[in-house]
Structure 1
Amino acid sequence: MYLKARNRETKPTKRDLTKMKTVCMWIIPVLILLLLESKQVESKKYQRCELTRVLVENYHFDKTFISNWICLVEHESYLDTSKITVNQNDSKNYGLFQISSKNYCSEGRKGGQCNMKCEDFSNDDIGDDIACARMIQEREGFKYWKGWERYCRNPQNLPNLRVACNLRSLSPLRTPRGFLLG
Structure 2
Amino acid sequence: MKTLCLWLMPVLILLLLGLKQVESKKYQRCELTHVLVEKYNFDKSFISNWICLVEHESELNTSKITNMENKSKNYGLFQINSRGYCTEGKKGGQCNKKCEDFSNDDIGDDIACARMIQEREGFKYWKGWERSCRNQQNLPNLRVLCNLRSQSPSRSARGFITG
Q: Give your verdict on TM over 0.5.
A: yes
Q: How many residues align?
A: 156
What is the letter of the counterpart of residue 24 of structure 1? L
Residue 8 of structure 2: aligned partner: 28
Gapped regions of structure 1 (runs ≥ 5): 1-20
1:90 matched to 2:50:
no
Aligned 1:1-182 pairs, distance under 5 A: 21-38=1-18, 39-168=20-149, 171=152
Residues 88, 57 of structure 1: CA spacing in aligned structure 2 closer, same or farther, 3 A cutoff? same
Structure 1 or 2, whichever has the larger Rg, is 1
> What RMSD over aligned residues (CA atoms) do the two structures have, in Å?
1.9
- Contact 1:53-1:170 within 8 A present in 2 as well: no
Question: Sequence identity of aligned pairs in percent?
Answer: 76
| Equivalent AA in structure 1 for residue 12 of structure 2 | I
Q: Structure 2: how far apart are the matches of 1:100 and 1:170? A: 34
1:6 aligns with none
Long gaps (5+) in structure 2: 156-160
How many angstroms does 1:27 deviate by?
2.5
What's the CA shift for 1:30?
2.7
Change (3 A) 1:23 1:170: farther
TM-score normalised over the length of structure 1: 0.81
